[in-house]
């Protein structure tokens, strides 16, 4: 029914919350009815920019008072799990920004609650928003490999490399971010699980890193550049790189090397279609941040999540795989800090 | 006032009309209230896909019955001018798909009518939709040159090269298209006028061409590949290429060569961010058609046209320059057919 | 016989002469026995750098005293024809730098003398050195098209664009260079004849240009940027661009557009395999001059010319086609200066 | 003295030996006087192709009978060390193909012999030929970083990825190759030591790998794809990838990420300057093998090694660093096979 519109609320109106609010407002089958944030200036922004959207100081109050069908959780990571759980309890559909939690136990508790809720609300959708899964280029790469044109994927290489932030913000932020592998590499880990298969078991992993430009990170056991290798059962290996030190822009790249060909995504970053020739040579500018490159993927995410809810279709990402991504991120961070290679037994437990 | 919405009607629901309808429907400050098309299947499409939009068989009836503020003319080229004129008479804002008309006299009559109407409706906006002017890459190139970083623009080179259509449709279509320079190169001509200055006078132009894959075009005095050079007063020259014969995709490129540097737009076309490495080498796919490359520019066009109307701002493209683009296109087509170089005197008349 | 070595003399030891001397010295089947130049410093350079090579002030004296088989004419353009003629008279093989002459009549007289000489010296080889014909990339493009994989070539586009010379040298040099189309575009013209067929008749041509950064060029009827279109019998068209105003480096590019695909050569110039990412974005440097890009082609030219002489094989470029290249260059220059389109009748004469 | 020529012998006339023979024959300050190989067909090849070069069945006999100044050891890896040692004993300069030996102890014994020999032959030059150090692109990257424009290098990433060999040859070859890290990655390791500093101490390393297309490699404890991370004292980390499974060609890439910018070498491989546009999209071909990409580096190597010998200049690569490269390669191979992370103490010994 094209005429039926999904009644959506946005939790959190920070940087990502504003973007989700704008994207869902432009999603044809959606009515954004409410938004909540404890920040007064964000509520003022909503009053000016989100027409017909009621704003709340308190998330729970919003859930109680509004007649909602779905919630987009885009608040600070620390409350992702709690807000998602409360929406699950009310039988609402949830799109939660990544990660569910930087704590694997808490993340798993959300999945458990969802699985339980499904018994009474079999059509309820809960998904963690790994935006690159909605990017046209990643999808084309996945589809081509799935078609079998390039044989089996063997080596997965991926990086998330952010523009250097020289404001000092990042060192403070890192204290609660879960570490560079949970914060930066979580997308690469999610893609790795997608391309290699979410059920494929990890045999071992290890990581090394350095705090080259933000020495203050050492205090919170974090780094600004790190490298990892991961070994899977069945002859598949992966290499990850994460960095907070790029000079030119955001450089997120992925390469999937198969037995008969390889697919490369984003290897030649470019902000747009301009090339400048001057006395410096020939140059292009790069995207400066994640959203500049992946904005369209978020729009697609909003469209497809809406369709899943309204048409009762399975979500493209399972909630369990999002917990697995956090698990891998945490294990990499542990290896990074301890210097130990982690070897897993058949139950997926570190030996 | 963000709460005030522009009441828009769409005239024509063919390929471009459908796109404009979808884009305007997603423009936050717009309500699409009506659409007209003589084609029954298009009206059925509208009933299914355009929620709350009333459809009309007859354009004039729509103008009479609906309380409109603006019309998007996206019908067949032959009625662009007529429909625009009728909307102008009613004091409505108009966004007309390019070209206004393939006949310069008719195109100019629209500008004249608009100028007259402005005396009684000083805030009325009428603009011809040259989408590339709304493309982020072209805009960045323009802004960089305007800033003076690269000196004076001297040479402008641009091409519109479409994927080969082997269905035979094109030969039929060409009979009323105004010829390859009016149909294909009109965007390049508009960009040339934009980058060199709309008031810059042309000294001479000439064109040559060939019907290489569609010999049937010769009957309607048209070609499938053509080249032109244009000479401006004040030491500026331009080279245009248009083609209907591309094997890989749509290859629209532009290069603006200035005294101290050059800006290149679209020189390395790519459909998305995927590169494929297999036994053929390393390859990327190209956009297959114009809209695949420029979709976002149309969205921006809808946003900005709306803002011009609601906030009474000047349109980014003057209507007179759109007539000039047709004038140049027609002169190039005349040179193509006759083989003559056209030399203009100071009044802009062919000597 | 690999043991037989071609006894070669070099005429002229300016920039190109030194390069030819070095390349022929490293050609395994060659002994460079002598070199002539009126410039004392150049003879000193030869004494230091060309081991075992006797130097002469006078070209004719060298021809008389030395037991030569071949001469490489790399002197100033003004004596190309004269020196080539003298070597032809002596029955020597000649590799002459392009162009034979900037005067078509003189150039043709060399061909006539060679054809006459062939009656008594049937194995004599005389070739004008169009280096791009020996470049691996141009050869691959030619071979692919010749194989028929891409259908018929229809549109040829090529440019020679040199780095801006701000020393003022160029204005002086231009006085005797024959003009930008003879000096710069001669390579593009030669390639055009090669790809379209040397016997393919030209129907018309025209050119426009501007003196944007070297206004002094106007005095010698020259320009620093020029554009041309050329129309051939049989439905083939070409577009040429030449410039002396590039900011980033030498940008020589060629595109051959065929009915089923297109071949692009040098479209993404790069000095080497380095890409730099810094706060300016991602950039590569370009070759700064012709020889930096085409050095290897000159080495191949030396190797192959030697093989033609020693093994009595036909030269890859006919001498007549080199005269045709000058003819076309001169006609383009005439159109550039007069503003007239030149139309040729079936005898190749301007109507 | 340009007139003095270095008297060189080539040991081994297999694939690399032939190339070295040809390159040294074209090096102006060199006379190739002799060559040795146990293979009769290779001696026949030399008789036909190497003019004036005496061939020997026996290496030692050649050293005794010929009046040599330098030897190029290009024989099979198994005799590199032995032949180098014999030349050292005779006081000859030696350019030895990499690696000196796949056994660290043997490699070190060559360095020890050289150091001893230097006491009596202080001008003797012995160098292991790591060709990429002579490549213009790698050199430019090194020079730019050395200038300090990009701050400190922090992360080094490099790969050697060869075209898939489906002949089965490789599995046989691998039995004596020392393993994929010694055979393939040795260049990347050498570059890593160069860019990070040859004296920089390794803290830890680890590797994982898989035999995806050549399962037979498992028998000789080898793999066809492997990944490694290496951690250095002083906050530098490296990631290596080696593969024998590429579908499109040889893909050797290196990225040096510094605190203020990054240098990328070879990231966009291309065989030449041709781009093909057809129904598959836009594509370029890749180099098919190492020599196709690095031929010029070998020519430069010959030139510079010769200059070092004749002009008594230090070699650009120290012999000790070449042993260190083998040491790292062997340690990586050990980690690959055992699955253990190797941690080094301050003496560089595995704890």
For β-strands C261-265 and D274-278, DSSP reports them as antiparallel
The answer to whether position C70 is within a domain reads: yes
Q: What is the pLDDT of residue B171?
A: 86
φ and ψ of A35, to 5 deg: -150, 145
In this structure, the number of other CB atoms found within 10 A of the CB of residue A19 comes to 18
Euclidean distance between CA atoms D261 and A283, whole angstroms? 14
Q: Please give the DSSP secondary-structure letter assigned to residue B350.
A: B
Residue given tokens 């969205």 in the structure block: B299
B222 and B176 assigned to the same domain: yes
| Dihedral sign for Cα atoms in the order A39, A42, A47, A52 | negative
Q: What is the pLDDT of residue B346?
A: 85
B120 and B140 assigned to the same domain: no
Please list every residue in chain D whose beta carbon sits closer than 8 Å to the beta carbon of residue B284: 281-283
A146 and A203 assigned to the same domain: yes
Strand partners, B32: B8
Domain harbouring D331, CATH code: 3.30.360.10
- The four Cα atoms B45, B49, B50, B52 give a dihedral, to 10 degrees, of 110
> Residue B102: is its pLDDT beyond 60?
yes
Domain count, chain B: 2
φ and ψ of B333, to 5 deg: -65, -40
Query: A262–B277: do the CB atoms touch at under 8 Å?
Result: yes
D100 and D204 assigned to the same domain: no
- Mean of pLDDT values over B226-232: 98
D176 to chain A, closest Cα gap in Å: 24
A104, A332 Cβ separation under 8 angstroms:
no
Q: What is the pLDDT of residue C249?
A: 97
D84, D103, D128 - which closes a domain: D128
Q: With 0-12 CB in 10 A as exposed, 13-18 as middle and 19+ as buried, what is D274?
A: buried
Please list every residue in chain D whose beta carbon sits closer than 8 Å to the beta carbon of residue A341: 206, 339-341
Q: What is the pLDDT of residue B3?
A: 60
> Residue B338: is its pLDDT beyond 90?
yes
How far does CA C335 lie from the centroid of its chain? 22
B114 and B145 assigned to the same domain: no
Q: What is the pLDDT of residue A1?
A: 41
A183 and A233 assigned to the same domain: yes
Query: B28–A28: do the CB atoms touch at under 8 Å?
Result: no
**pLDDT by residue (tens digit) across C169-198?**
888 888 888 999 999 999 999 999 999 999
Helix D136-146 vs helix D290-311: crossing angle, to nearest 10:
70
Please list every residue in chain D whose beta carbon sits closer than 8 Å to the beta carbon of residue A149: none
The answer to whether position C265 is within a domain reads: yes
Residue A96, helix vs strand vs coil: strand
How far does CA A91 lie from the centroid of its chain? 23
C174, C222 Cβ separation under 8 angstroms:
yes
Q: With 0-12 CB in 10 A as exposed, 13-18 as middle and 19+ as buried, what is A311?
A: exposed
**pLDDT by residue (tens digit) across D51-79?**
899 999 999 999 999 999 999 999 999 99
Please list every residue in chain C whose beta carbon sits closer than 8 Å to the beta carbon of residue D26: 26, 28
Instruction: Provide the token pair at B58.
Output: 């007859």
Euclidean distance between CA atoms C53 and C9, whole angstroms? 9
Low pLDDT (below 70) residues in chain A: 1-3
C166 to chain B, closest Cα gap in Å: 12
φ and ψ of B26, to 5 deg: -95, 0
Interface membership of D241 toward A (CB under 8 Å): yes
Residue given tokens 């470019």 in the structure block: A270
> Residue B2: is its pLDDT beyond 50?
no
Query: C283–A286: do the CB atoms touch at under 8 Å?
Result: no
Nearest CA in chain D to A239: D227
D178 and D113 assigned to the same domain: no
Which chains form contacts with chain B, at 3 or more CB pairs under 8 Å? A, C, D
Which regions of chain A does DSSP assign to beta strands (E)? 6-11, 30-36, 54-56, 70-73, 93-97, 126-129, 153-163, 202-210, 225-232, 236-246, 253-258, 261-265, 274-278, 281-284, 342-343
Query: A241–D155: do the CB atoms touch at under 8 Å?
Result: yes
The answer to whether position B330 is within a domain reads: yes
B113, B128, B143 - which closes a domain: B128
Low pLDDT (below 50) residues in chain C: 1-2
3-state class percentages of chain B: helix first, strand second, coil last, to nearest 5: 40, 25, 35
Which H helix or E strand runs over D70?
strand D70-73
Q: What is the pLDDT of residue C2?
A: 47
Mean pLDDT of chain C: 95
Q: With 0-12 CB in 10 A as exposed, 13-18 as middle and 19+ as buried, what is B221?
A: middle
Query: B237–C227: do the CB atoms touch at under 8 Å?
Result: yes
Please list every residue in chain A whose beta carbon sits closer than 8 Å to the beta carbon of residue D207: 229
Euclidean distance between CA atoms B228 and B204, whole angstroms? 11
Q: What are the CA-CA distances from residue C268 to residues A279, C286, C287 (Å)?
A: 16, 9, 11
Among the listed residues A276, A244, A263, the one whose alpha carbon sits nearest the alpha carbon of residue A141? A263
D45 and D22 assigned to the same domain: yes
Instruction: Provide the token pair at B59.
Output: 């354009």
C96, C80 Cβ separation under 8 angstroms:
yes
A197 and A337 assigned to the same domain: yes
Low pLDDT (below 50) residues in chain D: 1-2
What domain range includes position A117? 6-128
Interface membership of B285 toward C (CB under 8 Å): no
Residue given tokens 């109106």 in the structure block: A13
**Residue A238 exposure: Cα atoms within 13 Å on the Cβ side:** 35
C189 and C226 assigned to the same domain: yes
The answer to whether position C10 is within a domain reads: yes
C12, C75 Cβ separation under 8 angstroms:
yes
C3, D50 Cβ separation under 8 angstroms:
no
Euclidean distance between CA atoms D142 and D126, whole angstroms? 23
Q: What is the pLDDT of residue B12?
A: 97
ipTM above 0.90, yes or no: yes
Euclidean distance between CA atoms C30 and C25, whole angstroms? 7
**pLDDT by residue (tens digit) across A149-190?**
999 999 999 999 999 998 878 888 888 889 999 999 999 999
The answer to whether position C21 is within a domain reads: yes
**pLDDT by residue (tens digit) across B113-130?**
999 999 999 999 999 999
Q: Please give the DSSP secondary-structure letter assigned to residue B192.
A: H
The answer to whether position C19 is within a domain reads: yes
The answer to whether position D282 is within a domain reads: yes
Interface membership of B267 toward D (CB under 8 Å): no
Please list every residue in chain A whose beta carbon sits closer than 8 Å to the beta carbon of residue B278: 149-150, 260-262
Q: What are the CA-CA distances from residue C340 to residues A119, C206, C331 (Å)?
A: 84, 7, 10
């Amino acid at each position: 029914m094209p005429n039926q519109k999904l009644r959506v609320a946005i939790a959190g109106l920070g940087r990502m919350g504003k973007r989700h609010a704008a994207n869902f407002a432009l999603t044809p089958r959606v009515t954004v009815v409410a938004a909540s944030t404890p920040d007064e200036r964000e509520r003022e922004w909503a009053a000016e920019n989100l027409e017909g959207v009621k704003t709340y100081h308190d998330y729970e109050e919003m859930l109680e008072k509004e007649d909602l069908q779905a919630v987009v959780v885009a608040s600070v990571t620390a409350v992702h799990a709690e807000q998602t759980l409360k929406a699950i309890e009310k039988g609402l559909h949830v799109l939660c920004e990544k990660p569910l939690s930087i704590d694997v136990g808490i993340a798993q508790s959300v999945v458990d609650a969802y699985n339980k809720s499904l018994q009474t609300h079999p059509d309820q959708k809960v998904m963690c928003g790994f935006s690159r899964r909605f990017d046209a280029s990643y999808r084309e790469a996945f589809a081509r490999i799935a078609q079998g044109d390039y044989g089996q994927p063997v080596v997965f290489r991926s990086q998330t490399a952010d523009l250097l932030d020289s404001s000092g913000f990042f060192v403070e932020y890192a204290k609660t971010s879960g570490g560079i592998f949970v914060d930066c590499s979580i997308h690469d880990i999610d893609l790795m699980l997608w391309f290699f298969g979410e059920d494929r078991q990890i045999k071992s992993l290890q990581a090394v890193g350095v705090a080259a430009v933000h020495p203050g990170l050492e205090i919170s056991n974090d780094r600004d550049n790190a490298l990892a290798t991961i070994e899977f059962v069945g002859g598949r290996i992966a290499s990850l790189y994460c960095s907070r030190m790029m000079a030119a822009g955001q450089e997120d790249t992925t390469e999937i090397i198969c037995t008969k060909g390889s697919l490369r995504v984003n290897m030649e970053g470019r902000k747009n279609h301009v090339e400048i020739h001057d006395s410096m040579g020939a140059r292009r500018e790069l995207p400066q941040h994640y959203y500049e490159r992946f904005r369209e993927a978020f729009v697609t995410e909003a469209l497809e999540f809406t369709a899943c809810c309204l048409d009762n279709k399975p979500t493209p990402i399972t909630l369990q795989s999002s917990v697995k991504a956090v698990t891998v991120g945490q294990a990499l961070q542990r290896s990074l800090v301890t210097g130990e290679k982690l070897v897993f037994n058949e139950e997926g437990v570190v030996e």
